[in-house]
């Protein structure tokens, strides 16, 4: 192959192909500066050279815990060009959490600004960009296919131990190209990007759909109502979480006129209340399109672009995706090109997480109505979804139980007008309850969104005849308490 030529790399061609036809078009319009498609292509090539110089090769894992920035898109694509696995971590994770996940992934390199007590090389984004400055702007991409590993995204289970979902290039390409067709996303769209890049929704849905269609992104580092409203005035599409829509509705500046340029509002990552859907429709004249997906499967189902977007439902299975709900309600099962390759280093979970005929068991309870719309009615694994971010009760319980004087704990989610749900904990303690000490330990160990906002001290946890804690009763007792704790700040 000639020097500088590109091998067939499925993910790279999908993400950079459309932009190569219009290299001068703005890909990301951020407050600090704009990045064109040509600049994204060149920077991803330079960063691929830098990663290789740091010892990253085919199949290696690159852990990334960096604040949202356009350059992260180039870093992600650079990993794909090498055939390395991109491992995004929440920027709120503590050092203890990061050290454990870096070890689990067997990372070759960690991209993070602050030092890490782990036997692995670390480099910050500024250093990566400095090293990339004098590198060639072309790169000979590693040849890949649909089954080639592309990303490792950690998601906890009921055991509290994080599991790395291994996503292939085929999974990611199927997801963005299918959604582009389903939601009619084209190069004419301007996508308001308000989501974090460590999240599947922000990276593999919002950003990947934009790149693979040749659209432009209006880039916001975080959700600020004033900034979002300003962006909506000259954009066409917003992908958000329910909390975003409740915050927009709380501002009187949200009107039909303020969103006249918009053609589509999408909601996901957590259930959207029917009341939110109705209020948004009444205020703006636009019906939010709710869809359903998970880390392990990407997108599963979506309400239609054309046709009824039915409140409290997530619509129909994506083309090419099989969804079955063997009961009413029953756990939703999924099979198709969107479903991940398995859990990293956990082959024993294949039998428990998949059916014998290859359907992934989501753990979400669903029903299908007479018209075929899927509704998610609960979560068999008691996951708390706070502001679109998953909190796994067992992980928080294990940390609470480390605190001196805490005998045992039970963590549940309770309703919250802003975040959808927040974390609450019932504790059995010895001696006096020292809330300050408990909060100090949890805040030191876990990300802020996982820290309980409310505590309930009980003599014993309610259990059934088999000794299992009855989370529904715990939740009811917390709600009846009417005395809250500030826990973590929003």
Angle at which helices 125-132 and 37-53 cross, to 10°: 100
Are 45 and 136 in contact by the 8 Å Cβ rule? The answer is yes
Final residue in a domain of this structure, among 323, 356, 379: 379
Same domain for 347 and 475, yes or no, is no
Same domain for 341 and 255, yes or no, is yes
Before 329, cis peptide (omega within 30)?
A: yes
Same domain for 103 and 233, yes or no, is no
Same domain for 401 and 470, yes or no, is yes
Are 11 and 172 in contact by the 8 Å Cβ rule? The answer is yes
Q: Mind listing the pLDDT tens digit of every residue in the chain (490 residues)?
A: 444 445 699 999 999 999 999 999 999 999 888 999 999 999 999 999 999 999 999 999 999 999 999 999 999 999 999 999 999 999 989 999 999 999 999 999 999 999 999 999 999 999 999 999 999 999 999 999 999 999 999 986 444 578 999 999 999 999 999 999 999 999 999 999 999 999 999 999 999 999 999 999 999 999 999 999 999 999 999 999 999 999 999 999 999 999 999 999 999 988 888 989 999 999 999 999 999 999 999 999 999 999 999 999 999 999 999 999 999 889 999 999 999 999 999 999 999 999 999 999 999 989 999 999 999 987 776 788 899 998 888 889 889 999 999 988 999 999 999 999 999 999 999 998 899 999 999 999 999 999 999 999 999 988 875 467 888 899 999 999 854 444 333 2
Same domain for 99 and 18, yes or no, is yes
- 24 located within any domain: yes
CA atoms within 13 A on the CB side of 387: 15
Same domain for 280 and 407, yes or no, is no
Final residue in a domain of this structure, among 336, 355, 379: 379
* CATH code at position 366: 3.40.50.12780
Q: What is the pLDDT of residues 406-449, one digit of tens each?
A: 988 999 999 999 999 999 999 999 998 899 999 999 999 999 99
Same domain for 245 and 293, yes or no, is yes
- 198 located within any domain: no
Q: What is the pLDDT of residues 232-283, one digit of tens each?
A: 999 999 999 999 999 999 999 999 999 999 999 999 988 888 989 999 999 9
Three-class DSSP category at 128:
helix
Q: 146: domain range?
A: 10-182
* CATH code at position 447: 3.30.300.30
Angle at which helices 10-20 and 169-182 cross, to 10°: 40
| Single pTM value for the model | 0.87
How many angstroms separate the CA atoms of 230 and 259, rounded?
10
Final residue in a domain of this structure, among 379, 394, 420: 379
CB under 8 Å, gap of 24 or more: what pairs does 428-437 form?
Answer: 428/457, 428/458, 428/459, 428/460, 428/461, 429/405, 429/457, 430/405, 431/405, 432/405, 433/405, 433/457, 434/405, 435/485, 437/403, 437/404, 437/405
Same domain for 175 and 128, yes or no, is yes
How many angstroms separate the CA atoms of 39 and 137, rounded?
9
How many angstroms separate the CA atoms of 149 and 306, rounded?
34
Domain count, the chain: 3
Same domain for 247 and 261, yes or no, is yes
């Amino acid at each position: 192959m000639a020097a500088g030529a590109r091998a067939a790399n499925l993910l790279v061609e999908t993400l950079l192909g459309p932009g190569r036809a219009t290299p001068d078009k703005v890909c990301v319009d951020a407050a600090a500066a704009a990045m064109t498609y040509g600049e994204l292509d060149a920077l991803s090539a330079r960063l691929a050279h830098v990663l290789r110089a740091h010892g990253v090769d085919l199949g290696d894992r690159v852990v990334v815990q960096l604040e949202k920035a356009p350059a992260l898109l180039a870093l992600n694509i650079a990993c794909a060009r090498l055939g390395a696995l991109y491992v995004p971590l929440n920027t709120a994770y503590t050092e203890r959490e990061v050290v454990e996940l870096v070890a689990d992934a067997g990372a070759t390199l960690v991209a993070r600004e602050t030092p890490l007590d782990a036997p692995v090389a670390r480099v910050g984004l500024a250093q990566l960009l400095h090293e990339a400055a004098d590198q060639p702007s072309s790169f000979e991409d590693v040849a890949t296919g649909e089954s080639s590993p592309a990303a490792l995204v950690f998601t906890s289970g009921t055991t509290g131990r994080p599991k790395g979902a291994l996503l292939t290039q085929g999974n990611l390409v199927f997801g963005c190209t299918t959604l582009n067709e389903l939601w009619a996303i084209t190069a004419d769209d301007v996508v308001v990007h308000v989501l974090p890049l460590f999240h599947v929704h922000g990276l593999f849905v919002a950003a990947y759909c934009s790149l693979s269609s040749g659209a432009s992104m209006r880039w916001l580092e975080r959700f600020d109502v004033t900034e979002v409203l300003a962006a909506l005035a000259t954009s066409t599409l917003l992908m958000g979480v329910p909390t975003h829509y409740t915050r927009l509705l709380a501002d009187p500046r949200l009107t039909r006129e303020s969103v006249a340029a918009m053609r589509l509002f999408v909601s996901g990552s957590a259930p959207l209340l029917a009341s939110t859907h109705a209020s948004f429709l009444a205020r703006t004249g636009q019906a939010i399109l709710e869809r359903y997906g998970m880390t392990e499967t990407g997108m599963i189902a979506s309400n239609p672009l054309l046709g009824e977007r039915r409140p409290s439902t997530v619509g129909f299975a994506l083309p090419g995706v099989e969804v079955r709900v063997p009961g009413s309600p029953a756990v939703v099962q999924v099979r198709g090109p969107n479903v991940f390759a398995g859990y990293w280093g956990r082959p024993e979970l294949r039998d428990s997480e998949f059916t014998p005929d290859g359907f992934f068991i989501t753990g979400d309870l669903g029903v299908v109505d007479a018209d075929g719309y899927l509704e998610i009615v609960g979560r068999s694994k008691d996951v708390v979804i706070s502001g679109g971010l998953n909190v796994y009760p067992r992980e928080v319980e294990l940390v609470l139980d480390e605190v001196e004087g805490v005998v045992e704990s039970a963590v549940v989610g309770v309703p919250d007008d802003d975040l959808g749900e927040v974390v609450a904990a019932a504790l059995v303690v010895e001696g006096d309850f020292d809330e300050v000490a408990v909060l100090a330990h949890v805040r030191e160990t876990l990300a802020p969104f996982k820290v309980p906002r409310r505590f309930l001290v009980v003599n014993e946890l309610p259990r059934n005849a088999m000794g299992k804690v009855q989370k529904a009763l715990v939740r009811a007792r917390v709600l009846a308490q009417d005395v809250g704790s500030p826990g973590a700040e929003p």
